Amino acid sequence: MERQELAEAIKRRAQELGFDLVGITGAEPSVFAEEYRDWVLRGYAGEMEYLTRNLHRRLDPRELLPDARSILVVGMNYYTDAEEGPGTPADADPQRAQFARYARGDDYHDVMVARLRELLAFLKAEAGEGAEGRVYVDTGPLLEREVARRAGLGWFGKNTMLINTRRGSYFFLGEILTNVALPVDEPARGGCGTCTRCLDACPTGAIVAPFQIDARRCLSYLTIELKGSIPEELRPAIAASGNRVFGCDICQEVCPFNQRRSVATDEPAFQPREVTRNPRLVDLLRMSEEEFREKFKGSPVKRAKRRGLLRNAAVALAASDDPEAEAALERAVADDPEPLVREHAAWALQRIQERKEPLAKEGSPINLFR
């Protein structure tokens, strides 16, 4: 089979497997090695040590597969209907939590890896003897956004997301690194122009400059990747963001390409579970370990573990108007088995009590005669 014919057959098979975008690029070293090293040196990776280890492997695909010739890159739409979350933080219900759209259904790793392995089997069968490859979905040392841009799937937005001009940025990425030489696609071209909506909307100022994020300030990092205490000065941003207790979509929600061109996926695996449809914060805070495991089995939310999710819910309750918030926090302070949850519940409880003090004073007889 001719290489062009093989590439077209692989792309057709990828689409049959449910991948919305597909492209091919070469297995060359990254052209952003200097920028990536500078990002790491600035400390912007925070505690995500996996992003700072063995940089030479992350910057050159041939370190992963010595005879690599091509990278097949796929994108899978995970956008679900906007009714499952408000358009802006100001529209959010202060009593309810929000989960990032990517985490509302099943774990995308499980969904995509299985299909990429099936696609790899197809590639090997069609390419013939000697064809090999390796599958990656977000877990290997590969600069996915860069290879996706080179393969024509999208271009970099100022929020650092990969944006497809026709479909927006709600896509999971996956790759097959192979020793089969395939014709490459043209890199994607596009841009944000003068738009700065994502920079302006970020509640913590994590987008420190166009195309550059300090992960240590990003709500996705704070609510998922950070395993310890959330810095006190950043805690109020969780409530101000609309109670984003696992991840954050704000920089995507305000993006014009998403507002105008995102299309809801019909992939069953990515449809929201009941527990991720804006649950009450107090219900999350009351969740036992057994309940957490049951409700989030096979979900990306497992990454934060129960203690991380309840830590985040406690922080969000600091600004809640739920009449049950104070009692739920008091119970967490007294009885929760996790020190991390107790610490953040105590902080939130103090914030609620401080907020109530001025109201009590305003209702006193002295203040009535002002």
Query: What is the secondary structure of 238-282 as a DSSP string?
Result: HHHTT-EEE---HHHHT-HHHHHH------GGGSPPGGGSS-BHH
Give the model's pLDDT for residue 135. Answer: 97
Structural domains in the chain (count) = 2
Do 30 and 174 lie in one domain? The reply is yes
Does some domain include residue 89? no
Give the model's pLDDT for residue 22. Answer: 98
Does some domain include residue 165? yes
Alpha-carbon distance 114 to 111, whole Å?
6
CA neighbor of 348 nearest in space, from 281, 255, 260: 281
Q: What is the largest CA-CA distance in the chain?
A: 91
Give the model's pLDDT for residue 131. Answer: 97
Give the model's pLDDT for residue 91. Answer: 74
Do 280 and 164 lie in one domain? The reply is no
Beta pairing, strands 155-156 & 162-163: antiparallel
Distances in Å between the Cα of 365 and the Cα atoms of 190, 274, 341 are 64, 47, 39
pTM of the full predicted structure?
0.92
Do 286 and 335 lie in one domain? The reply is yes
Q: Which residue has the tokens 């998403």?
A: 258
Do 248 and 139 lie in one domain? The reply is no
CA neighbor of 27 nearest in space, from 163, 112, 133: 133
List, in sequence order, every residue forming a beta bridge with 172; answer none if it has no partner.
76
Does some domain include residue 97? no
Q: Considering 117, 148, 178, which residue would you say is the last residue of a domain?
A: 178
Q: Considering 150, 178, 206, which residue would you say is the last residue of a domain?
A: 178
Alpha-carbon distance 346 to 18, whole Å?
46
Give the model's pLDDT for residue 90. Answer: 66
Give the model's pLDDT for residue 357. Answer: 76
Give the model's pLDDT for residue 369. Answer: 28
Do 15 and 53 lie in one domain? The reply is yes
Give the model's pLDDT for residue 89. Answer: 74
Does some domain include residue 98? no
Do 242 and 333 lie in one domain? The reply is yes
Which residues of the chain carry a pLDDT beneath 50?
A: 86, 364-370
Domain residue limits at 349: 197-358
Distances in Å between the Cα of 145 and the Cα atoms of 75, 149, 150, 206 are 11, 6, 9, 19
Give the tens place of pLDDT for each residue, 15-52.
999 999 999 999 999 999 999 999 999 999 999 999 99
Do 251 and 302 lie in one domain? The reply is yes
Give the tens place of pLDDT for each residue, 162-184.
999 999 999 999 999 999 999 99
Do 217 and 114 lie in one domain? The reply is no
User: Which pair of tokens denotes residue 17?
Assistant: 């497997």
Do 273 and 151 lie in one domain? The reply is no
Does some domain include residue 370? no
- The enclosing H or E element of 315 equals helix 305-317
Do 140 and 207 lie in one domain? The reply is no
Q: Which residues contact 273 (CB under 8 A, 6 or more apart)?
A: 104, 105, 295, 299
Task: Give first-to-last CA distance, the chain, whole Å.
Answer: 89
Give the model's pLDDT for residue 83. Answer: 54
Do 141 and 202 lie in one domain? The reply is no
Give the model's pLDDT for residue 81. Answer: 73
Give the model's pLDDT for residue 366. Answer: 37
Q: Which residues are catalytic?
A: 138
Does some domain include residue 90? no
- Residue 100, sorted as left (phi over 0), alpha (psi -120 to 50) or beta, turns out to be beta
Does some domain include residue 127? yes
Do 169 and 22 lie in one domain? The reply is yes
Residues 190 and 165: beta-carbon distance below 8 Å: yes
Residues 10 and 181: beta-carbon distance below 8 Å: no
Does some domain include residue 21? yes
